[in-house]
Amino acid sequence: MYAFQYHRPASLGEAATLLGKLGDGKALAGGQTLVAAMKLRLAQPSDLVDLGGIAELAGIQADGDALVIGALTRHADVAASADVRKRIPALAHLAGGIGDRQVRAAGTLGGSIANNDPAADYPAGVLGLGASVVTSQRSLGADEFFKGLYETALKPGELIKSVSFPVPKRAGYAKFANPASRFALIGVFVSQAASGAVRVAVTGAGNGVFRSAELEKALTASFTPDAAGAVKVPAGSCNGDLHASAEYRAHLVSVMAKRAVAAALG
């Protein structure tokens, strides 16, 4: 690992100020991706701003028709939260399926979505529920937050504070996990809001999480597993690599959508 300067601010404001003035500084949340990348010298930040000392960033709170989850809340805490399990069980299920137990005890919601790995689980949950990402500067809708391969709308020095998840009428998440990494070969998150509006987010397929217009249309007409399974996803919307061809991924999208709807219907 290359050397870096280490900072441990006590507040979000102090962390944002530091990151704003440090050229190649990076924020450290749980470190489950960043520390590994630094060990391989794939990342070489000049400074690390450790958010681990900022108590205000962790926790889960009900706020009317939404659940607000702090950026530094660990996956294991989301998976085990009675509030999340009761109000958005699909999100608890998603968090409980990330990586392995040790990763879930360290990795965080904010770290995951700020990194925006194209095969990560949380981006599907955030986009599939139409959540809002609250930062040190503003509130961003999920549709404007994710910008493609490892890219988000976050500006230099802008830090995620929390994510506000609207509680849906029902939701489901299904993933076909890579057997080695547990990243999603394909993961599909479906939700139906109280208004009836349907959202479908797909992770693992392309250069970043995306919504499937075909699946949303089919499920708006009929929110059933069969309606999802009947949608033929074009292979052109998926990437192929050594783990799976584009055709196989496209096929998996409708299979996972079908399972996600079945899970949503309980």
Partner 1 sequence: MNVKLSLKVNGKAVEADVDPRTLLVQFLRDHLHLTGTHVGCDTGQCGACTIHLNGRAVKSCNLLAVQAQGAEVTTIEGLAAPNGDMHPMQAAFKECHGLQCGFCTPGMVMSATALLKDNPKPTEEQIRAGLDGNFCRCTGYHNIVKAVQTCAGGR
Interacting residue ranges for partner 1, rule: CB under 8 A:
1-6, 8, 28, 31-32, 35-36, 38-40, 48, 50, 52-53, 76, 80, 99-103, 105-106, 180-182
Angstrom distance (rounded) from CA 46 to CA 26: 8
Q: What is the DSSP letter of 72?
A: T
Residue 82 or 213: which CB sits closer to partner 1? 82
Tokens of 94: 């998603």
List phi, psi (to 5°) of 142. Answer: -55, -35
Residue among 26 and 211 whose Cβ is closer to partner 1: 26
The distance from CA 193 to its chain's CA centroid, rounded to whole angstroms, is 19
Which residue shows structure tokens 């450790």? 50
How far apart are CB 89 and partner 1 at their closest, in Å? Answer: 18
CB of 56 to partner 1, least distance (A): 16
Please, are residues 111 and 34 in contact by the beta-carbon 8 Å criterion? yes
Q: CB of residue 102 vs partner 1: minimum separation in angstroms? A: 4
Q: How far is the CB of 74 from partner 1 (least distance, A)?
A: 8
Measured CA distances, 247 to 196, 202, 233 (Å):
31, 15, 9
Least CB distance to partner 1 at residue 109 (A):
16
Question: Nearest approach, Cβ of 1 to partner 1 (angstroms)?
Answer: 4
Nearer Cβ to partner 1 (85/182): 182
Question: What does the block give as tokens for 84?
Answer: 């999340």
- Cβ proximity to partner 1: between 39 and 155 the closer is 39
Q: CB-wise, 60 or 140, nearer to partner 1?
A: 60
CB closer to partner 1, 101 vs 169: 101
Helix (H) or strand (E) holding 248, with range, is helix 246-265
Pairing assessment for the beta strands 170-177 and 160-166 based on DSSP bridges: unpaired
What is d(CA 193, CA 7) in angstroms, rounded to the nearest whole number?
42
